[in-house]
Structure 1
Amino acid sequence: MDRDWARLGQAVQAARKKMGLTQAQLGEQLEVSRATVQLIEHGKEFVNVTRTHRALEPIFGWCRGSVEAVLNGGEPTPLSADAPDSATEAEQGEESQELLPLRIRQALGDGHLLDSTVIDLPAEGSDEPDAQIVIVVRSKPDATPERMRQSVAAWERVERQLRAIRAQGDAPSALDDE
């Protein structure tokens, strides 16, 4: 199925205007130029959805995956509508969470989901993953859209640092020094 980049551009422009942001202001929040925002709004086609596209979701209060939904002809899903689609999914999620420590279950249950990622950790002296770090980024339950945007920006800085450490192969020693 062809992706409708023009449709995404229209959705981005509408959401930006609804928030009262200029292209330059949105670019600042995304840490890109105004020209990049213009390209997205004008429907420039990309090979893949980029980090910048994904960063639009929390800024506009959209659930993760909303960019892909718009590209495929759908609508973005507001964060407030990110509840499981059925009782079965909710039950499966509860069963999975029972395996987690209490403080993790509490943290996962509070606030809005902003992002998540998995970082592979190779065995010493190997490039093959031996373990994984799973990171879930959530806002406070009462966070404003502005605060969520700030949280996403902070997370993106931390994620770049984590990936840089991983790329150097020094993850254990770098983290132990702190």
Structure 2
Amino acid sequence: MNRDWKRLGRALRSARESQGMTQRALTASAGVQSRQTLLSLEAGEERTRIPPSLSKLERALGWAPGTAVRILEGEEDYPPAEPKPAPYAEGMPLRVIQELTEGQVLDTEVLDLTRPGSNSRIVVVYKRDSPAADADPEAMRRDIEEWTRVQRAMRQIASGDPSEADEA
């Protein structure tokens, strides 16, 4: 049987990249033991048999069962590239998902709100709407200074001493 392993490799890489996944993230999500398996598949290395891990990769990419084999045998075009929401996005409001997926994350802060009987955390994401590389260095410096001031204030509030936060 004539199988186009290079074509399958391009489809796997294209789908992975369109979903913003690294090879390591995809193998972890798929439950594939070795990243080398994905590396050789994406490289289009010829094989004599279809690896059992291919169905796991299909599921992790959101492909219908058998899609990889149909691509391999030339029976199907690449599946449409539809970004899959990150696992953290499940159940989150659409506005939050949109904010997390657009722009460039520059820093984050996780604040522990542990009080008796509480397991709560606040996660603050500091982002720019455009890549930092496009930013004016002076504007970037001012943004970082402001972020540092806000971080200090948040940490003071979380530590239980809001009076010091007022000074920040």
Q: Same fold (TM over 0.5)?
A: no
TM-score calculated relative to the size of structure 2? 0.44
TM-score calculated relative to the size of structure 1? 0.41
